[in-house]
Structure 1
Amino acid sequence: MLNLFETIIHEHDQRLVALALGICAISTLTGTAIAQMSMKADLVHRRGWLILAGVVTGLGVWTTHFTAMLGYRNNLDIHFDLSVSAYSLVLAIGFTVAGGLVGLQGKERGILAGAFVGVGIAVAHFLDMHALRFAGSVVHDPLITLFAGAVGLVLAAWAGHLLLRWRDQIFAWPAAIALSAAILSFHFIAMSGVRIVPAEAAVEMSGWTASVDELATIIVVAFLLMLGAAVTYTWHSERLARATARQQRRLIHTLETLRETQDHHRAYIELNPQIAWVADRYGMITEVAPLWGELVGLPREASYGEGWAKVVHPDDLPLVTRHWRAAIEAGDGDSADVRYRLRMSDGAFRWYRARARPRHDAEGNVVAWYGSLEDIHDQVLGEEALRSSEERYRLASRATSDVIWDWSFQDQRATWAGAYKKVLGYPELQSETDFDWWLDRIHPDDRSRVLTSQSAALKGGAEYWHEEYRFRIATGEWIDVKTRCVIVRDGDERPIRLVGSMLDVTQQKTVEAELNWAALHDPLTKLPNRTLYRKRKRAAIDDARQSGGSVALIVLDLNNFKELNDTLGHAAGDRVLEQTAQRLLESLPHTASVARLGGDEFAIILPELSEPDAYAGPMSYVSTAMEEPFLVGDTRVPVNFSAGVALWPRDGEDPAELLIAADLALYSAKEEMPGTFMEFTPTLRGASERRSQMLFLARQALEQDSIVPFYQPKIDLRTGRVMGWEALLRICSADGTILPPSEIQAAFSDSEVAVRLTERMFARVFADLANWRAVGIDPGRIAVNLSAADFRGPDLASRLQAHAEATEQGLSAIDIEVTETVLIGQLGPEVSRMLQELRKMGVMVALDDFGTGYASLTHLQEFPVDVIKIDKSFIERIDENNPKATAVIDAVLEMAMRLGMQTVAEGIETMEQARYLRARGCTMGQGYFFDRPLPACEVPRALSSETKGQWEVVRLRSLKSRTAP
């Protein structure tokens, strides 16, 4: 510091030092003022003012350095290299101009601008020193030089910072002082570290040099330039002042006009549902609409300043304060838009939205804030409900496999969310995608349909759009997807947004396809089932109707299939059905349809027949294929079939009518010529009509309660005593005519009607039994016939028990008669169980019509049978002179005797038949030889006459033969 003082006081001419100080002050004050003006100008004119400020400042730096150097005392003859001096001037101006353009234009950085000026000062100083020409050399102290550079750079940077800080003041004089200090301190501190070393030899002056006097002249010129700049700036400031005065006059006039409309504005504010308010430049409320006090119960005066915050919800106040301060500091209204709750006069809180915009003066400074409060309580509640709904949907979509997408028509981009990684696998879905990305991954066969469907929904004003299509995922595989979306429209009903989901339904489609296949196909044979058969039959008929051709419908049934099931088992039966399906498919043309209707029944549709009898050719191949025995395991099983044929349109226009015709032909083939084809004829329809008439008669008899039992006695062939009765169904018509069961034969094949007939017989039999016993007559055991339908439900025993309890009777006098087909049918195991249950209740089981079906000794051992009834067809053949005619009867009687079973011979009509059966050990006989079926009212008379004596053998011989009326 002492060295610096000595340098300034003793080594410099104080008059020139003072001049240097003056030049430096004028240049820095002028440059700072011009730079300050540039920051108030618009962007178009700012650059010009910054260049001018840089030129003045750079010229001042250069002039100050050389003026101080002129005042440096020495005894040397000093000259100056003007070329180096020119370089010094150019660089000084260049760095100061660059500092202004870099640091004060656009985003303002004052420290950076000052740093550029500081570098210019250093460059100018050292170049100026290098421009010295004298007999000797200059030696710099490195530490002092570095210290001078640091001080000058820091002061220059600080000057740039002060310029920005004081930019809004009238004059940024601290910045000018700091810049002057940077220039002077750098020069004089650096000069304090300079030592001149004289040389003995004189230095030859060459090039463009100037003496001290010449340089002084140059400095004077530079000083005049700076004075010119100062005068120019002063003149411009004066012009601006006059312009400002004119603006003030216009502003005063505007304010007077504004005052005239102020009352109108207040009236409007008071009627506006929004609450208007005004704040000063610092955000302090200065005015608020009267509606504020009415809503919050706080006087307007108490709300001025920061008083309004008293009614803000405590949880919202920090957010509101933060937003309001940010808006004030930024000086714009982008941050002055916030929502919060206000406490109303009744203590409840409501949501409001506060918005504000600043008003700037001519210089761009904020002078006031104008704002409004809008009641958005209902809107916020709706938004919260929507967010809750969207959150539930988002969580639900995460729990499922929905891919969520959002398409913007304005941006032409889609965003993705949900399970897109799991379902689609594309990493690019983390960002937005365009329309082509989605379109390129739709299956080419589906693309046109999807685009057409979407376009129709968008143009048709629809609210929703949904479609199913195939989509390629990241692995290259195709999946089935279901897309659903909401179409968001603007006020002109133009679509602006699509928000929807994409769901992978591949597995669902597969399951649906399997279910659809299972719903339309037989699981065993894989053939179409009855449902698909109906569809194909109708389609074939529709095609034939258009082409004028014919359609053959063939219904095919395997013969003796139940016997095969019972002998070889159901597994063998299934193999036969599978092979039958395979042979039919292989034998028929590809246009034919083969279906399994159920059980062992198949149907064939032969379409496109040009002639009605064209079906014969394909069916001949079927016959040939079916002649070959079926292979079940190692067993070759011969199976033949019967078939009925109906032709469209000859045998029926309606598909259902055509099937009936084919069924009638099948039934006729099975009854008349098993193993053949039979074509439908009109006569077969008469048989169908006869069946319908039988069902009608049976139902009518049930409704009119005309079903009654007639009782035929069963006689002990050894003693002649009546052992019991068989209850036979009869129909008592309105005119008193008694009809046999053959008149309703078809009803016993109808499950519902057959059970109702049995129930009516049970009710009548137990009622008759109760009446007989009430008068002291014991009729013995009563046999009732059951059909297969009675065993299809599990409640046979409970039904029989209910009738017994209703009449207060037991079951020990009841026999149940069943046919062989019931025992060995598909319900065989269940029938056996129910018969065992009935036997435990005291019921005896009789096997009716033995010998006419398929029962074997094995069945008699497996099923609970107590009585065997020999069919009438065998009794009619009895001829003592013909052993073959009685062989079956003899075998049955011998078998029953060995098995310990009772036997009943049906249809005995002659003395010889009775005598033969008695001699062979038959237990009981039944037939017109003894008595015809009697109504219940005649049973007591028959029993009372019989009690006078037993039917002895002599009496049997004396009786004449009786025949049926």
Structure 2
Amino acid sequence: MITDPTSSASAEAFQIFKEVFFDSLPLPAWCISGCGQEAAANQHWHQTMSVTPSTPESLWVHWLHPEDQARVHEAWGQSSAHYQVFHQRVRLVVAAGHYCWFIAYGYFIRARNLWLIKFIDIDELQESRENITQHLRMYKSMLDASIDCIKLINLQGELIDMNLSGCNALGVPPDSGFGMDWLNLLPPEIRKRGRQALKLANTGRNVRFSGKSQLEKNKPFYWDNILTPLQDAEGGVTSILCVSRDITRLHQAEQRFKYISEHDELTGLPNRRMFNTTLKKYLRQAGYQNRSLALLLIDLDYFKLVNDTLGHPAGDYLLKVVANRLKKSLSGDAFIARIGGDEFAAVLPGIEDTQALLGAGYKLIADTAMPLTYQGQTIYISLSMGGVIFPQQAADSTAMIKAADIALNELKKNGRGGVLCYDPVMSDAVDATRGQMELAKQLISDEAILPFYQPKVRLEDGKIIGLEALMRFFNSQGELCFPGDIWSAFENYALMERIGYIIRDKVFADIRCWIDNALEVVPVSVNASPVEFMRDNYAEKVLQQLEHYRIPPALLEIEITEHMFDGRGAGYVFRALNLLKAQGVRISLDDFGTGYSALANIRDYPVDVIKVDRSFVASLSKGKEGLAVIKALWLLATELELDVVAEGIEDAGQRDALIREGYQLGQGFLFSVAVPSEVIAGFLKNRHTFSLLQYPVNS
């Protein structure tokens, strides 16, 4: 150990250490005696560093960048005073005349009573680090500029990072450091949905769900959230990227349309569509709870007489008063709707027998029947009601409505006013169903089912752009008949599968004939029934028939209805439609707007075209109410980037109104009824010059 660094022995030991070991170091280095009187740099230092104007006795700190000097001097003084390891990032001036980054690492060698400080070049590493920092800063700026809310979440659901839009939406300070539970930042009603999405994303699946955020005293925002798993090289999920897009305007449009499509403008009561949906919900709840409920169909007697004698304003006033009285008379868990011109329907939970149903009905009559005065005229109110009880008398919504309607009609046959409960002897529905099924079997056996075609046209000029194939047949008297005459068969898979096959086979044969005759063939749509998807082979059968007739898939369009996506076998429907789309077949959603479930989820449905239900086109005659519905439907279709076809156009006024609202395609009796294939062939010969505005086919 060197005890006296000023002695010649100490200086000699210092010199030997420098020559034998120190100068051979492959790094720039300094050695300094314990008392600081001896200091020297090795050869590598002199080769690397710039020559400074300082004296040769100057220590390495004179090569420091001015901005580093105070920090490094303080750290070096602390280490040298307490013989602690010295470790700092420093900038030193090198031979080229500029500063480079080094790690200065020093430690005290007690056996030699000296400090050894080595300098490790990290300039390239520091440059890379600064580049990465700059890129990260730019990336952060880009994310903060996005209007989408972008979040990085760990597998436990904690926020790792979030852009400025996300911070503003969730009320999180950007400098919070994050780490909080993402789900706890969402409204309680959304957390379960978010938790399920996060769980699926943790398994490596992309997930999409609708969300919501709301800061205190502010209006809520609605979001379309997409969760994307981020994976390492081995495929393991390391974190979740959540991108949330503001869909508040679309949500508001859906809500506006939902209200318009589900409520009666005059009375404010739910309309027939909402009634049908709500009745099914009540029946599901009653089935789960093993409880009864009743349905009353209510007719306002002599309503036409009021319109005819006092005018429609008086009739409207009467309807509003009756609606309010019915609503006030019902208990809190009951449901009332206006389902037609002078028709109402009430769902009454807890009614278990006929006596209770009669009592509830007569209470409604008593609470509603007080006469009213309109412009000095007294209007007397009389109600007729037909009722049915679930599950004793009917097992589902369709059967209940039919049974209640039968009872109401039976009551009106024998005089109006009062309440009548359903009795099975009133109905011959079973016989009618049996007759329809037998007729369907005979038609299948004889292959007597025929396709007729209704043209789809360009509204502007009446040019044919497509066809819809519709089922027809002739009865034994040679009369043309419609699908309603065998409607019961459409609920039977065995019959509907054969009917569907026959229709497609004849449609494809017609298309093949038109192609072979060099006609300008347009796409043809074929309707599909829900039960046809029950065996999960619908797409394969359709594609096999197309191949047999050598028909390009682009000439086929399959029409489905929106409730098929929510009913039994919905998974088969999705699979079949996706397979058909992959082969080039287009998918059309018929009766669009008649069920709200599609409005919430249609962006996820595999459809190309929506067909606006004829009831909405007919509502154009109602003025602003009908026009509002048509506008809302077109806006939704445009937002979803889908083609839209208006159905049931019967007069030029409807056509003109649709054109003004942006509609381009349509079909209806204004242009043509459904006609045989021979007539269609004549249309196709001169398709580019023939217009159904000039030559409408209405018989």
What TM-score does the superposition give when structure 2 sets the normalisation length? 0.43
Q: Rg larger in 1 or in 2?
A: 1
What TM-score does the superposition give when structure 1 sets the normalisation length? 0.32
